[in-house]
A = this chain, B = another copy of it.
Amino acid sequence: MNAPTAALHLQPRAIPQAFLDALAARFGSRCSTAQAVREQHGRDEGSIQAPPPAAVVYAESTQDVADAVQLADQYEVPVIAYGAGSSLEGHLLAVQGGISIDVSRMNQVLRVNAEDMTVTVQPGILRKQLNDAIKDQGLFFPIDPGADASIGGMTSTRASGTNAVRYGTMRENVLALEVVTAQGRIIRTGNRAKKSAAGYDLTRLMVGSEGTLGIFTEITLRLFPLPEAVSAAVCSFPTIADAVHTVIQTIQMGVPIARVELVDAATVAMVNKHSNLTLREEPMLLMEFHGSPNGVKEQAEMVQDIAAEFDAKGFEWADTPEERTRLFTARHNAYFAGIQSRPGCRSITTDTCVPISRLADCLLESIDEVNASGIPYFLVGHVGDGNFHFGYLIDPDNADERHRAEALNHALVRRAIAMEGTCTGEHGIGIHKQDFLREECGDGAIAMMAAIKQALDPKNILNPGKIFTL
């Protein structure tokens, strides 16, 4: 059982010197073949490694991207778009060689339409930068995967994160795209109308396509009004089951909670150490409520009542922005806290998502399994969506540990699929989850995806070897 094998065993394609010469002629100093630059663009935050791309082009406009892709099309060379490098499943790895198109300089807010609550941005803008740019207009973009990812990357992986329980994911919040196709043609999908029945939903097809169907050069997003009132709280529970059942009841009662994050006791200890906090080292929920002052109060009271039924204690409120930021930053740093807890380790991070009614079963069975394995781990979850992450903290040089961790991951994925869930709630497939995708979707759906890929990218130059291996 080794999911990434197929993709990693592909032969990198030869890169013609004439292609590199043409790139250099077109992009000058914005085309780099320096080893350090290439290496930086040939990895992500995941645990898999591959040789770096042959060159990196720094695109500064849609036309730059189109021109680079036209050359790649002409010479049949793979192209991989690069935003912030925060993906987790090997999305950026040049497993078939090729070049990286770095869009991080394409980071402008192009148009804010405050009355319609939409914004059009370039793909390289980081989500925090976007929120800084629009907050004066009383608006925000809620999708928050933790990392300060680029909007282009978030669109490519159909990202979500802590706020998705209330605001949805990139699937619901990308309205329109400008896309450079595999032929280097510039097309537009979607528009700014709130709904449309105009032909195939190319926007939704592109969202989550992981750079394999097109490179995004403009992205139009839905925004939300900054909530009038925000309140956050932490509380602890005797068992994980109690915490999870609190969440399930909260969701089933329709409380519009904005965030509800689970952290298990051992992970709270890691977070305390990493972020210098003194949270109770018990299973914990972090919650946030958005709304009118009355609405927030009503929501918080309802959740407190539910939590009390499950023996919650230590309810602590964080009402200032600083306290809230401190709490959620600590939560977001759980990954790094986990990594730090075992020096030299790497994390194999799971991403299953199940219907909320199956969350307790899925989570508790999986905890028993990982505890029995003896592999150290952290555990956090966007549990309001039924999505949670184990990080199996393995010694990357220990093949046996990696194998056992992948086997745990596989068992968890099978459990989630049997419960009508998915192997990935938000991280995407990349090169790491391709076998899982096949188990989840079946050969028929994979064949349909592959047929679409081959129709739109017959030379297989757009991030080849990701999602599936043709």
Contact = CB atoms under 8 A, between A and B. Distances in A.
A456 interface: yes
Interface stretch (A39-47, A71-79, A185-193): A185-193
Contacts of A442: 187-188
Contact of A421 (B192, B423, B468): B192
A192 B386 CA distance: 10
Contacts of A196: 158, 353, 422, 424-425
A200 B195 contact: no
A194 B355 contact: yes
Contact of A445 (B171, B189, B455): B189
A207 B198 contact: no
Contacts of A421: 191-193
B197 A157 contact: yes
Interface string A348-391: 00010111110000000000000000000000000001110000
Interface residues of A, number: 81
A442 to B, nearest CB: 6
A163 to B, nearest CB: 12
Nearest to A356: B116
A354, A424, A428, A455 interface centre (most CB from chain B within 10 Å):
A455
A452 interface: yes
Contacts of A191: 417, 420-422, 440
Given A208-B201, A437-B199, A355 B193 contact: yes
Residue in A188, A427, A445 with the greatest tally of chain B CB atoms within 10 Å: A445
Given A448-B181, A456-B448, A201 B158 contact: yes
A54 to B, nearest CB: 28
Interface in A142-197: 157-160, 164, 168-169, 171-172, 181, 185-189, 191-197
Given A193-B355, A455-B454, A424 B198 contact: yes
Q: Taking each of A201, A248, A356, A417, which has the highest tally of chain B beta carbons within 10 Å of its own beta carbon?
A: A201
Contacts of A451: 455-456
A389 to B, nearest CB: 13
A32 interface: no
A462 interface: no
Contact of A198 (B185, B194, B422, B447): B422
Interface string A191-220: 111111111111011011100010000000
B201 A205 contact: yes
A467 interface: yes
B455 A452 contact: yes
Contacts of A288: none
A198 B440 CA distance: 9
A384 B427 CA distance: 34
A184 to B, nearest CB: 11
A122 interface: no
18 contacts: A113-B355, A115-B252, A115-B355, A181-B448, A188-B445, A192-B355, A193-B420, A193-B422, A194-B353, A194-B385, A194-B387, A195-B385, A195-B425, A199-B208, A200-B208, A200-B213, A201-B208, A202-B449
Across chains A and B, which 9 residue pairs bring their CB atoms closest together, nearest first?
Answer: A187-B444, A455-B455, A204-B204, A115-B357, A196-B422, A192-B420, A193-B353, A158-B197, A116-B355
